[in-house]
Amino acid sequence: MTATLGATPTIVLVGHGMVGQRFLEALAERGLTATHHVVVLCEEPRPAYDRVALTSYFSGKTPDELSMTDPEFIEKHGIELRIGDPAETVDREAKTVTARSGQTFGYDILVLATGSYPFVPPVPNKDATGCFVYRTIEDLLAIEEYAKTAQVGAVVGGGLLGLEAAGALKGLGLTSHIVEFAPRLMPVQVDEGGGAALLRTIEEMGLSVHTGVGTQEIVTDDSGAVTGMKLSDGSELATDMVVFSAGVRPRDQLARDCGLTVGERGGIAVDEQCRSVSDPSVFAIGECALAADGRVYGLVAPGYEQAETAAATICEDEAAFTGADLSTKLKLLGVDVASFGDAHGTADDCLDVVYSDSRAGLYKKLVIARDGTLLGGILVGDADDYGTLRAFTGSVPPVAPESLVLPAGAGAPVQLGPSALPDDAIICSCHNVDKGTIRAAVTDHQCTTVPEVKKCTKAGTGCGSCVKVLGQLVTAELEASGVEVDKGLCACFSQTREELYEIVLALRINSYQDLLDRYGRDGARGGDGCEICKPAVASIIASLAPTIGASPYVLDGEQAALQDSNDHFLANLQKNGSYSVVPRIPGGEITPEGLIVIGEIARDFGLYTKITGGQRIDMFGARVEQLPLIWARLVDAGFESGHAYGKSLRTVKSCVGQTWCRYGVQDSVRMAIDLELRYRGLRSPHKLKSAVSGCQRECAEAQSKDFGVIATANGWNLYVGGNGGATPRHADLLAQDLSDTELIRLIDRFLMFYIRTADRLERTSSWLERIPGGLDHVRDVVVEDSLGICEELESLMAAHVSHYRDEWAETINDPEKLARFVSFVNAPDTPDPVVGFVPERDQIKPDLPLLSIGLRPTASTADVLEGSAQR
């Protein structure tokens, strides 16, 4: 059967990936779907989906959630979308395309968007059972199924997809290896310093990395299944499965077969209008196209620009694709990695400005021309400034280069914000949207929210890396225009968290529903609230409980329904549905009897035990119905909740201090214990961490904590606003040479002022940078009492200290409270069958594949440990 040309011209699109879908949208925007019959031949069994976010499938996203195709869009524009029916041959003379189904379609315009295919090195046994590629949802489904019977996985390739694939295998419960031929990970995006920082961070996650070696052969058993890999250095790596992610190649075979010109290294040769140099009726866009500048672009942003160019050319508008920004911002295994401009410094006579903190996994490099022009850069570990830095590329920033890479608190001047960018700075490289266009969306098109600006300009609808900058620009433009920006906590409250705190404190409101009914927005009053304001208000009420007459027990009455998921069971939910048990060990000091109790409990309940960086012993793997039994024994032995589940004080870490250390000048252990017992259970906008070092050698790492204390010969120095983790920040010195009494008084004031004025989920580090006046203002308030509120702050803290009660001690003594600790309300004696474990290093770990395949019989903890011991 042949679809013949009629009065309506026909556009045939071969391939329906992200770039193909963008081409369809560009056709629709120009009205071409109304004047042309559009046929799409799609090879995959599903329409276009977000291939950039492919790995999110393993973290819970469904294929439907990854879809980028709205059925209503296809139907509205009369597009004939043929799923699972790829083009097999093209007859350019007859202007027809024949699909796998046997149907032939005539075309006036043919657009090839066939993308790329994974490159698999030509090594022996590359097609063995257990070998996979990492390109489509179907690939992921196959990997997930095979991983159920595997224990070790190896990924060939240490680029973007290779790291994501390795992370996916680890998430499926496999021991994961990465084999990269280049001397560093992500060699295209980062340099040696960036690769080293990335390597350290990834190895700390438990992945094994082998760089500078190639794969020589896949080793198989008699059945043809993978058992290992031979590497170029002569070593052999034992593995049950291999995932090839060694790059891609343009998928141009269809073009070759019909005689179109292709490049020497592949790619359909096109001109600046994305039209084939061989045939004016044929276009090529995306990864299958060899652009006029001689490059095949493997990123989605250039593909989108090519799609726009082809659609404009078909519409007889002037358009040209002359190259694209290759800047990228990625989050690999939770690590920010970004590169922009001339990241490797290939320009003549350029200079580097580098900041590196190997301990924190941070690496930032800017490439600067002699005249001060920013040429490019690399960011690893912290890419928050990527949008601003990328937009400044090609111009001379108005501040010194070092101020653009130094972290806050490290002596850097005030950082630049997006408002300092010129109007022609590109904010969204996916859709080539500049700052001026975004400003115009606000001023000329009356857009007042980020979603409205996205819809108006398409900015932020591609990879999403510019959304943070986009929000800052929208807010700045609205404020500059005299428009009052809604800074309310959420759709339910027009007040900020700080304002709600003041209302609750001043009026002694101890009920969320009362607060919502009296101060909620129109339409929210009398309702149920939302997931934003419920936990935020719950935290406010909990932090002020003694003062406003609320119960200090967070699961009493209405408070229980407001809590975040972890607080519901006073424990942290883990990957496989089990919970962790974390008793408080103030200052890390514990008696032998206490150690024995923890050991006996972990043994009796089959729990995984780990000594943490916060000087505690965490126990993992408890089922919900076991939590009261475990805590009854812990409380009886004198332990109490460590509040690992709450937005509250976690730990006060300490060194051994002058009691044992020959360098110590103060008793850091005693002070750490005093502080932890004083502030235990203090609910706050975000978690709080602290440390006390007994001397300037700083073994407790106090300057990376929300409040840290360092001993001096004359007393104590107090540091505030520090932060470890993905965005580390050195704490700032608030006061020095304090006595014990002065130290505690200032910490009382600092914490209550933070709780009073911080936004929801805002760490002290972010709060200190955001609050007007910064550290100087905080010092004026809590040290100099410039606002005259210090007496009230101290009184609020005193109320907390005097009314503190251990949540678990209260729970195990109240049958009504214990009733919540069941897996199934209608079958309280039935354990959750989904919670399963497998052995690892004489302990247990979650049987992670369980969650993706549904219910099946699981081994008990005792069975797992017994089997491990036998092995």
354 domain residue, yes or no: no
Burial class (CB in 10 A: 0-12, 13-18, 19+), 243: buried
Strand partners, 336: 331
CB within 8 A of 535, min separation 6: which ones? 562, 563, 564, 647, 760
CB within 8 A of 868, min separation 6: which ones? 839, 840, 842, 843, 844
With beta carbons less than 8 A apart as the criterion, state whether 471 and 450 touch: yes
CB within 8 A of 786, min separation 6: which ones? 780
109 domain residue, yes or no: yes
Are 144 and 219 in the same domain?
yes
- Phi, psi for 532 (deg, rounded to 5): -85, -50
Buried b (16+ CB within 10 A) or exposed e, 112-145: bbbbbbbebeebebeebebbbbbbbbebbeebbe
24's tokens: 């369809």
Strand partners, 109: 11
Q: Give the C-alpha separation, 814 to 570, whole Å.
A: 15
Give the residue from 268, 285, 314 where a domain finishes: 314
Sheet holding 131-133, edge to edge: 131-133, 241-244, 152-156, 175-180, 208-211
Q: Give the C-alpha separation, 110 to 133, whole Å.
A: 29
Q: Give the C-alpha separation, 13 to 741, whole Å.
A: 75
The strand pair at 226-231 and 236-238 is best described as: antiparallel
CB within 8 A of 451, min separation 6: which ones? none
With beta carbons less than 8 A apart as the criterion, state whether 443 and 481 touch: yes
Give the residue from 805, 832, 856 where a domain finishes: 805
Are 615 and 733 in the same domain?
no
Are 447 and 532 in the same domain?
no
Q: Give the C-alpha separation, 761 to 533, whole Å.
A: 11
421 domain residue, yes or no: no
660 domain residue, yes or no: yes
408 domain residue, yes or no: no
Sign of the alpha-carbon torsion through 670, 672, 676, 678: positive
Q: Give the C-alpha separation, 841 to 422, whole Å.
A: 57
Give the residue from 191, 214, 246 where a domain finishes: 246
The strand pair at 707-712 and 688-693 is best described as: parallel
What type of residue is 436? G
Please give the pLDDT value at position 851: 32
Are 691 and 544 in the same domain?
no
Residues making up the chain, counted from first to last:
871
Are 174 and 302 in the same domain?
no
Angstrom CA distances, 237 to 147, 202, 370, 841, stand at 17, 19, 48, 20
CB within 8 A of 321, min separation 6: which ones? 272, 273, 274, 291, 292, 302, 305, 306, 309
Are 695 and 825 in the same domain?
no
Please give the pLDDT value at position 533: 87
* Largest Cα span, the chain: 93
DSSP, collapsed to helix, strand or coil, labels residue 351 as strand
Domain range for 468: 427-485
413 domain residue, yes or no: no
Are 153 and 188 in the same domain?
yes
Q: Give the C-alpha separation, 622 to 608, whole Å.
A: 9
Are 111 and 28 in the same domain?
yes
Count of helix runs (H) and strand runs (E) in the chain: 31, 39
The strand pair at 707-712 and 579-581 is best described as: unpaired
Are 150 and 219 in the same domain?
yes
216 domain residue, yes or no: yes
Strand partners, 723: 729
| Residue corresponding to tokens 């993706």 | 852
Give the angle 263-268-270 at the CA atoms, nearest 5°. 100
Are 690 and 786 in the same domain?
yes
- Report the predicted TM-score, pTM, of the whole model to 2 decimal places: 0.57
- Phi, psi for 555 (deg, rounded to 5): -110, 20
Please give the pLDDT value at position 825: 54
Are 636 and 650 in the same domain?
no
160's tokens: 């973007």
Q: Give the C-alpha separation, 217 to 220, whole Å.
A: 9
DSSP, collapsed to helix, strand or coil, labels residue 335 as strand
Q: What is the CATH number of the domain that holds 833?
A: 3.90.480
Burial class (CB in 10 A: 0-12, 13-18, 19+), 733: middle
Q: Give the C-alpha separation, 227 to 153, whole Å.
A: 10
Please report which residue ranges of 206-319 form alpha helices under DSSP H.
253-257, 300-314
Indicate the number of domains in the chain. Answer: 6
Q: Give the C-alpha separation, 398 to 625, whole Å.
A: 60
Q: What is the CATH number of the domain that holds 147?
A: 3.50.50.60
Buried b (16+ CB within 10 A) or exposed e, 617-649: bbbbbbbbbbbbebbbbbbebebbbbbbbbbbb
What type of residue is 578? S
Buried b (16+ CB within 10 A) or exposed e, 411-443: ebeebbebeebeeebbbbbbbbbbbebbbbbbe
Q: Give the C-alpha separation, 276 to 274, whole Å.
A: 7
Q: Give the C-alpha separation, 587 to 584, whole Å.
A: 9
Q: Give the C-alpha separation, 627 to 631, whole Å.
A: 6
| Residue corresponding to tokens 């920013």 | 374
Are 102 and 228 in the same domain?
no
107 domain residue, yes or no: yes
Please give the pLDDT value at position 842: 83
Q: Give the C-alpha separation, 850 to 117, whole Å.
A: 31
Mean pLDDT by 10 residues, the chain (871 residues): 60 96 94 94 94 79 85 93 95 96 96 94 95 94 92 91 87 90 86 84 85 94 95 94 93 96 94 95 96 90 92 92 80 77 84 81 87 89 79 81 66 57 77 85 83 82 71 81 76 88 92 91 81 87 90 79 73 78 90 93 92 88 91 94 90 91 90 96 94 91 95 94 80 94 97 94 89 89 94 95 92 86 66 76 71 35 38 29
Q: What is the CATH number of the domain that holds 470?
A: 1.10.10.1100
